[in-house]
A and B are shown apart, each in its own frame.
Chain A
Amino acid sequence: MTLSGRFVLLLALGVVPIVLFGPDPKAATGILLLWLLLVFVLGGLDLALAASPRAVTVERMLPARVRLGESVTSELYLTNTGRRRLVGVVRDAWQPSAGAGRNRSRVVIPSGERRLVSLTLTPFRRGERRVEQVTVRSRGPLGLWNRQATLNAPGRIRVLPPFHARKHLPARITRLKELDGRTSVMVRGQGTEFDSLREYVRGDDVRSIDWRATARRNEVMVRTWRPERDRRVVILLDTGRTSAARVDNEPRLDTAFEASLLLAALTSVAGDRVDFLAFDRRVRGRVQGASGAALLSQLVDSMALIDPELIEMDWAAVPGQVRSITSQHALVVVLTSVDAAGASTGLLSVLPQLTKRHTVIVASVLDPATVLAAASRGGRDEIYRAAAAERALLDVARVSAAIRRLGADVVTASPAQLPPALADRYIALKAAGRL
């Protein structure tokens, strides 16, 4: 039961009769008591005549998924199974981050009928956004007292990573196709696979003439090449505590999601197999054996629920995890943060095990604020800041050098640049046949 502003106003209006007709205390007290009686009888009557909010049944219709930044409509069907007409307000109690805005809607539902309450959701956080309950406040005919009940109507909507980096995809696919020899420009790498033999035409590289085949046939034959296919790419995401840090107001983890989505999209176009693993001390997300359109949807689905864990990454378990995915040679892309030497000890200690068997790329976000700070030398405080920034950059350079010495490759870039940089590195490796 709740009151309305109208009831408060009615109660306060009792001042008028008390002042007008109550010059002496006894009469005034009598009028006060009479007024209170009147007001509460009216309120009680109102309450008794209000439709029961408990007689409302709720059905929900929700899209299962939405990309972060996009809007969807949540539909709530309210059916009044009671005998009275329900006039009131409905609150659909979404979590704040579901972006429901003002989630109170006025409804009028005659007995036995059904009404739709639709709400536009614009979630502003990744993950699973939930709603558990719907609260119905039913107004009495006089609008003095309300009946209120909370109904269980659970719902959930999965908010997927936005994948802004997909704008880089077409250009990279074009470059892949150039590698593939499907366009007129033949870009040939060293370690590409033998594809087929065909007759020599003018302009072909004489080095690719296959002399044995030429000896068997009467024409000069050349070998054609295509990039390797069906290689394995393992994307390993560090979801430990360092992934929670924000660079350019975006957590490192989200940048890593963008980069791995772009890489996965590219590799699936290139015909390679992608496996995805998010790991800190245990597996937070894993996508294996998917390809084509299913790959990306499975990836975003599993990424949606991953949040940075405030624990230290267990690097010692990483080689085992990779081995459990593939025992063949693969491109292992480790998305983590390359920081001070002390913090990267774990990564450096297990890298030899990985590089012995696989090609490894370590990708990390570089804070553009640090680069800016290193260059700005105003007063005393700014110089100290520049010194600290320079120190941090030197640390990154030292760790990067150590990683390279262990046989792995390093990609560092600002959050906006990391996904395309990683994709370019992949294309370069593919062209070089190092997959």
Chain B
Amino acid sequence: MSATLGSSTDAPARLTGAAGGAAGGAAGGTTVATPTLRALLGRSSFWLIAAACILAIALVAALVSGGSQAAGRALAGDNAAPAGSMALVEVLRQQGVTVTLAGSLAEVRGAVGTNSTVLLYDENSYLDQSQLRELGDLATRTVVAAPDFLALQALAPTVGFGGVSEFDTLTADCSVPAANRAGELSPGGDTLSIPPGSAHPLLTGCFASGTNTFSLVQVQNDTTGGIISLVPDARLFSNEHIADYGNAALALGLLGPSDSLICYLPTLADLPRTGPPSLADLTPGWVTPVLVLLILAAAAAAFWRGARFGPLVAENLPVTVKASETMEGRARLYARSNARLRALDALRVGAVQRLALAVGLGRLAQLEEIIGSVAHFTGRTPDDVRRVLVGAIPKSDAQLTALSHAVQALEHATGQAVRAGAAPAARASASASPESPPPPAERMDP
């Protein structure tokens, strides 16, 4: 701290030099307590680097483990997990088939061409009958993996469910070329049944297990002439089972002939909209951005008001103890324990000392002398004075109040009597014989 007038007068000279030469940096003389951004970064570099490392490790771990996890949907073309069908899709792509992954009927509609195959796997039964019918009419070939009841109703009303196949070997035994090339399928899957009586001309069943139950049913669409293949066991297309038996041959045979394949796994987007418009439909488009903006503004306002104007200043505060605390505490103790006699005694002892001074008997006078002298001055009987100053024992709060008032009244009366110069005879008779009436009720020591 250079707080002298001398330094302030020659300061301008130094300042012009500093203004010309100083380019940023700390100004001479005054040190800056706030660290610069660079210093702050340098100081916390360890933590920054550590946090970055942890983040990188977490990312890498997520990527590595994410590839092997069965996280995607079953039979999804981009799912390499056992339940997915990435193997099949990749093989078809290598063979020159254009594979499109579709998530809604609209996408299928847009992607389907003149020579296309659609693979439908509606695991959650999102599609309704009309959508299924439309789908059946869209492409020349349609393969439905694990058709549910609605799908059967829409696409092949005569076909029913046949339960789980109990045969150990499933052989093609039909006229479908793809089935013939496959020869055998992995056993134990679901089957479909064709009613026995109805020799439906457009129905073909392959891989029979028992009477009229088949693991592959082909239906010819009577309006468009397209072929719909129903494969009740969806596992045939999965990465896990595609290489078993003749599964791969059947899958490639069913899905491969066309130029393009559309793998269609319906999503929520296919659900029809019903009911009144939702709140989101009714709100204008700017509501969400405005909310975001207002939240940002609130955060900025918090920064604005919360930013400290420099560090806090510490100050040692003094202790604040009232000297009368002990007195108050003692008074509360008296009151709580109803120490009437003790309290009254304290009042009496004080009063007796003051009375002794008032009537001119010294500090060391005997109690009986004081009582006699006070009785003479005030004209009361010594017994009455003795009762007030010593004798009476308070039994209740009312008595305590009365006695304490009586003590005060006695003091007052004595003071007045002494001041009036009363009872000279009494003073003469008092054995201690003070020189003159002292000033009344001086509390402190002489």
Contact = CB atoms under 8 A, between A and B. Distances in A.
A104 B400 CA distance: 61
Nearest to A381: B335
Interface string B1-15: 111110110011001
A81 interface: yes
B399 to A, nearest CB: 11
B32 A149 contact: yes
Nearest to B23: A83
Contacts of B16: 112
B157 interface: no
A430 interface: no
B269 interface: no
A96 B27 contact: no
B19 A83 contact: yes
Interface string B269-292: 000000000000000111011101
A192 to B, nearest CB: 24
Interface string B297-335: 100110110010111011100111111111110111011
**Which 9 pairs show the lowest CB-CB distances between chains A and B?**
A135-B310, A112-B19, A387-B343, A388-B331, A245-B323, A32-B289, A388-B330, A25-B285, A28-B286
Contact of B309 (A7, A104, A244): A104
Contacts of B343: 383-384, 387-388
Contact of B288 (A28, A55, A152, A385): A28
A77 to B, nearest CB: 6
A253 to B, nearest CB: 10
B346 interface: yes
B105 to A, nearest CB: 24
A25 B284 CA distance: 8
Interface in A121-146: 125, 132-135, 137
A208 B5 CA distance: 62
15 contacts: A5-B301, A11-B297, A12-B297, A15-B294, A23-B285, A29-B289, A32-B292, A135-B310, A245-B322, A337-B323, A365-B323, A379-B401, A388-B343, A388-B346, A401-B445
Contacts of B24: 52, 54-55, 82
Contacts of B342: 387
A151 B321 CA distance: 38
Interface in B390-423: 397, 400-401, 404-405, 408
Nearest to A410: B445
B356 interface: no
Given A112-B18, A113-B15, A251-B318, A62 B300 contact: no
A18 B289 contact: yes
Contact of B327 (A57, A154, A389): A389
Contacts of A2: 303-304, 307
Nearest to B22: A81
A153 B30 contact: yes
B3 A59 contact: yes
Given A32-B293, A57-B28, A155-B1, A367 B313 contact: no
A44 to B, nearest CB: 13
A97 interface: yes
B291 to A, nearest CB: 10
Interface stretch (A231-239, A318-326, A390-398): A390-398
A95 B404 contact: no
A153 B31 CA distance: 8
Interface stretch (A194-202, A215-223, A265-273, A370-378): A370-378
A391 B339 CA distance: 13
Contact of B8 (A61, A148, A384): A61
B296 interface: yes
B347 interface: yes
Interface of B: 1-5, 7-8, 11-12, 15-16, 18-19, 22-34, 36, 284-286, 288-290, 292-294, 296-297, 300-301, 303-304, 307, 309-311, 313-315, 318-328, 330-332, 334-335, 342-344, 346-347, 349-350, 353, 397, 400-401, 404-405, 408, 443-445
A342 to B, nearest CB: 11
Contacts of B285: 22-28
A35 B353 CA distance: 88
A185 B28 CA distance: 69
B15 A390 contact: no
A307 interface: yes
A155 B7 CA distance: 16
Interface string A327-367: 00000000001001000000000000000000000000111
Contact of A150 (B4, B25, B311, B344): B311
Given A29-B288, A35-B293, A81-B27, 17 more contacts: A2-B303, A5-B301, A11-B300, A24-B285, A28-B289, A32-B290, A52-B24, A61-B4, A77-B8, A79-B11, A135-B311, A150-B33, A151-B33, A366-B444, A369-B324, A383-B343, A401-B445
Contacts of B27: 54-57, 79, 81-82
B330 A391 contact: yes
Contacts of B321: 244-246
A315 interface: no
The contact size tier of chain A is 35 or more
A286 to B, nearest CB: 22
Contact of A81 (B19, B284, B303, B397): B19
Contacts of B347: 383, 386-387, 390
Contact of B334 (A18, A77, A388): A388
A42 interface: no
A83 B23 CA distance: 8
A15 B309 CA distance: 30
A247 B294 CA distance: 56
Contact of A114 (B11, B292, B293): B11
A57 B32 CA distance: 9
Contacts of B294: 12, 15
A58 B290 contact: no
Nearest to B303: A3
Interface string A81-114: 1110000010101111100000010000001111
Contact of B401 (A11, A94, A308, A380): A380
A344 to B, nearest CB: 14
Interface in A152-207: 152-155
A370 B327 contact: yes
Contacts of B5: 61
A125 B318 contact: yes
Contacts of A150: 32-34, 310-311
A283 interface: no
Given A247-B323, A374-B350, A388-B334, A95 B315 contact: yes
A153 B327 contact: no
A246 B321 CA distance: 6
A326 B36 CA distance: 59
A56 B22 CA distance: 11
A105 B401 CA distance: 62
A387 B346 contact: yes
A390 B19 CA distance: 75
A316 interface: no
Contacts of B36: 54
Nearest to B336: A384
Contacts of B346: 387-388, 390-391, 394
Interface string A1-40: 0111101100110110011001111111101100110000
Contacts of A62: 1, 3
B31 A152 contact: yes
A260 interface: no
A260 to B, nearest CB: 19
A135 to B, nearest CB: 3
A412 to B, nearest CB: 6
